Amino acid sequence: MDEKDMEKAVSKGKIVLLVMPSDVYYEEMKKLMRVLSKRFKNICYISLNRPHNILARAFREYGIDVKRIFFIDAVSKQPEPDIKVLLIPSPRSLMELDTGIEEIIMGMGADCFVFDSLSTILLYGDSLVLTKFFHVLSLKLRSINASAFFTALEKHVSSNLISDISMFADSVVRVDREL
């Protein structure tokens, strides 16, 4: 998906489920973040599968100002200096994740949230518990008119969680491999 198409999917106050193949996932996430960094003032990037320092470095190399990104990181054990980050113990820690999101809503005034990724959280939790968590989270984000981007690998689309999340989303965008 090129950035112009991605820009069309980005709307203030909307919740979008992005579904993409694993072989283009990382590149598409960088494109998404570049588009979002042009459109939103404060972004919260919730990472369940990559350390914040690696993401920040990749985003910088892609021309993205990481000073406007606050990371919630469920992978790293130590915060990196000069990166705004909240570490949570593991992707299983839904209570800590919820508390971290609340802190960012209240303290930072984030207007955009990127959840990377639903595919990862599927490995750690019960589908029904996760569905309830994401339903409450989507209501919370709608109440402050924040935009949200939930990402998933296309191979997990048949899971109950992904199909349930699509009910909470304003749109589902499928990213195809570019030729």
Question: pLDDT per residue over 128-158, tens digit each?
Answer: 898 999 999 999 999 999 999 999 998 877 6
What pTM value is reported for the model?
Answer: 0.93
Q: How far apart are alpha carbons 105 and 100 in whole angstroms?
A: 9
Q: Which of the four pLDDT bands, split at 50, 70 and 90, describes residue 71?
A: very high
Rounded to 5 degrees, what angle do the CA atoms 120, 165, 142 make?
Answer: 110
Q: Which of the four pLDDT bands, split at 50, 70 and 90, describes residue 123?
A: confident
Q: Which of the four pLDDT bands, split at 50, 70 and 90, describes residue 179?
A: very low
Q: Which of the four pLDDT bands, split at 50, 70 and 90, describes residue 69?
A: very high
Task: Give the model confidence (pLDDT) of 44-61 as tens digits.
Answer: 999 999 999 999 999 999
Instruction: Enumerate residues 6+ apart whose C-beta is below 8 A from 70.
Output: 42, 43, 44, 45, 84, 85, 86, 104, 108, 110
* Residue 99 scores a pLDDT above 90: yes
Cα dihedral 6, 54, 82, 101 in deg (nearest 10): 60
In order of start, what are the domains of the chain with their CATH numbers? 3-174 (3.40.50.300)
**Percent of the residues in the chain that have a pLDDT greater than 70, as a whole number:** 98
| Mean pLDDT, range 105-122, rounded to an integer | 91
Residue 166, classified by CB atoms within 10 Å of its CB into exposed (0-12), middle (13-18) or buried (19+), is: middle
- For the chain, the straight-line distance linking the first and the last C-alpha, in angstroms and rounded, comes to 10
Identify which of 87, 170, 94, 93 has the alpha carbon closest to the alpha carbon of residue 133.
94
Q: Average per-residue pLDDT in the chain? A: 90
Is-contact 52 80, C-beta < 8 A?
Answer: yes
Q: Which of the four pLDDT bands, split at 50, 70 and 90, describes residue 178?
A: low
